Structure 1
Amino acid sequence: MDELTQRLIVHYKPLILCFLLLTFLADLAMGIFLYRWKKTDFAPFREFLPIPFSWLELVAVCLFLLSGILLGVAAGLSIFSIILIVLLVRFHGYSLSDFLGISQFNPWEIAILSFWICLSAYLPLQMIAGLSENIGKALHLPVPRQPAVDLFLHASKPSEIAVLLALILVAAPIGEELLFRGFLYQFFRSRLTKRSAIVLSGLIFALLHIHWITFLPLFIFGMILAAVYEFSGCLILSMAIHFWFNGFTACLLLLAKFG
């Protein structure tokens, strides 16, 4: 990503400075919020709707993921994850609106909260990824781009770019949040402590992306998403944060590709 970063800095320096300023303000506001939350022992809005997913269902989902990875259809996993988790939720007799926590926030609150949380986390996570890449280069390790990023940069037809954007901005946030937070986090949360469930779901989220350079930032990002789900009871909110995260990356890639 070094050449992409340099290209962005050269051509879009004012835009990057504005982004840095917004990130600083978002992080400052987040720090104040977390400090006041800790001091006042603020209670969560509502815990998520617990669904008693079984070990058999976990095995079925794991086999599904493994088969998708082995067959090289990772791009379609998000779409199939949506179908699979929705069917499991309905099988247990729960409504999708309760499962997603739609009633917890109105659309404007979700848009603002998700943008704020993502903006606070995005740049620090990218800095960690950059540090991992530099360490890898110093140790003479291979530092490949993420497959999705490489695929996007090599796409030339507008139709290919449109399909990739749909997968990145819609299918991935919905499918991955249903799978990792809506299913796996729920499964771990019913059997482990809250902290252990957050860590374990984040670890699996990072591992299944199969990219060592971004492992640590994705691990932290996965824990953030699980914590948001835990303390808001709103899976839609974690989907929206995931959307903004992928959206920031997509915008940077578009600027680097066509700028």
Structure 2
Amino acid sequence: MFRALLRGAAAGAAGTTALNAVTYLDMAVRARPASSTPQQSVEVLAQKLGHPVPGEGERHENRLAGLGPLNGIAVGVGIGAVAGLLRPVLARLSLPVGATVIGAAALAAANIPMKRLGVSDPATWSAADWVSDVVPHAAFGLVTHATLRAGSPSSAVAAAAAGKAATAAPARTVTAASRKALTAASRKAFTAVPRGAFTAVPRRTFAAVPAKAAVIEARGKALAAAAAARKAAGSRTAGSASFRADSSPTDDSTQR
């Protein structure tokens, strides 16, 4: 909130500078005298508050000549501070609409007190008087609203988003180009392989490997069992032959 007040006050100060510049430019172009209503408003208000402006004669007039513009600066800065508090709403308005709203508020803040204090009645002003009053306040509203919009967070966020998008665009372009190049290289690599390279291998080859391994293992076990059987049969045959040799008659007398 305090920052919003400060930003609004700064915007109001910028608007007040524009108001004074346009007012002095009008005085220089049309050679008109300065308005005495600001000094008169300060004098009447001070008297009503019970604190009249001190001094007599020229000293009194000089003090009023200084207090009148100071009062206008205070009003301009105050309106800017209020606009700073309402910045989330005013920032959504376009520049012409926002400038009109703030300028009308400043015009009312300057003329209504004069009417209430009896210093001047705007209803009796001429067209030239209204132009001299409306144009400077329009400049105040324009500069104040433009300053508030320039310092609003939404504009800063939008600028940051635009910068981020601008920096991210080349990266997206490079990525897309890289993907395109990789896709082209992959297609070229696959098309370089002969068409029958993958179909030349029978489909059942990998599926038949476990079955063939089981068959080979079973055959090995059968051969080992057959060899063991033959070895056992051979040992039995040799034993029976030796038994027949030992039991055969070798004595001649026995043979006779």
TM-score band, normalised by shorter chain: 0.3 to 0.5
What TM-score comes out, normalization by structure 1 length? 0.32
What TM-score comes out, normalization by structure 2 length? 0.32
